[in-house]
Amino acid sequence: MTTIARSVSYHPRTGNHVDGPAESAPAEVETAVAAAVEAFPLVAATPPAIRQAWLEAIARELETKADELCALADEETALGDPRLSGELAKCAASARFYGTVATSGHWVGALVDTVPGPVPTELRRANVSLGPVAVFGASNFPFGFGVLGHDTCSAIAAGCSVVVKAHPAHPRLSFALAELATTVLREVGAPDGTFGLVSGFKAGLALVDAPAITAVAFTGSRRGGLALVDRAVQRERPIPVFAEMGTVNPVVVTPSAAAAGNASAEQVAAGFVASFTLGHGQLCTKPGLLLAPEGSGIAEAVGTLISRVTLGWLLTQGIADSYRDGLARLVDAGATALGEGKEGGETGLAAYPAALRVDLDTLQPGSFLLEECFGPVALVAEYASFDDALAAVARLQPSLAGGVMTSGQDDPDAAAAVETISRQVGRVVADGWPTGVATSWGMHHSGPWPATSRPDASSVGSAALLRFTRPVCFQNVPQAYLPAFLRDDNPWGLPVVRTGR
Residues annotated as catalytic are 244, 284
Of residues 214, 216, 236, 235, the one with CA closest to residue 224: 216
Q: Crossing angle, helix 414-422 and helix 386-395, to 10 degrees?
A: 10
We find the least distance from the C-beta atom of residue 329 to its own copies, in angstroms, to be 20
Cβ 498 to its own copies shortest distance, Å: 9
Alpha-carbon gap, residue 340 to 302, rounded angstroms:
10
* Cβ 422 to its own copies shortest distance, Å: 5
Please, what is the minimum distance in Å from the beta carbon of residue 472 to its own copies?
A: 5
Identify which of residues 14 and 475 has a Cβ nearer to its own copies in the complex. Answer: 475
Backbone angles phi, psi at 401, to 5 degrees: -145, 160
Measure Cα distances from 39 to 143, 147, 406 in Å: 24, 18, 51
Q: Alpha-carbon distance 463 to 381, whole Å?
A: 35
Nearer to its own copies, 108 or 314 (CB): 108
Distant-in-sequence, close-in-space partners of 57: CB < 8 Å, separation ≥ 6: 184, 185, 187, 188
Give dist(CA 155, CA 39) in Å, integer.
13
The residue (of 78 and 363) whose beta carbon lies closer to its own copies is 363
Contact (CB, 8 A) for 287 and 378? yes
Q: How far apart are the first and last CA of the chain?
A: 66
Nearer to its own copies, 15 or 455 (CB): 455
**Residue number with CB closer to its own copies (288 or 447):** 447
Q: Which residues contact 82 (CB under 8 A, 6 or more apart)?
A: none
CA dist 5 and 15 (Å) reads 21
Q: How many Å apart are CA 57 and CA 474, to the nearest integer?
A: 34
CB of 56 to its own copies, least distance (A): 18
| C-beta separation of 78 from 142 below 8 A | no
**Residue 231 CB, nearest distance to its own copies (Å)?**
13
Nearer Cβ to its own copies (180/417): 417
CA dihedral 297→298→300→302, nearest 10 degrees, is 160
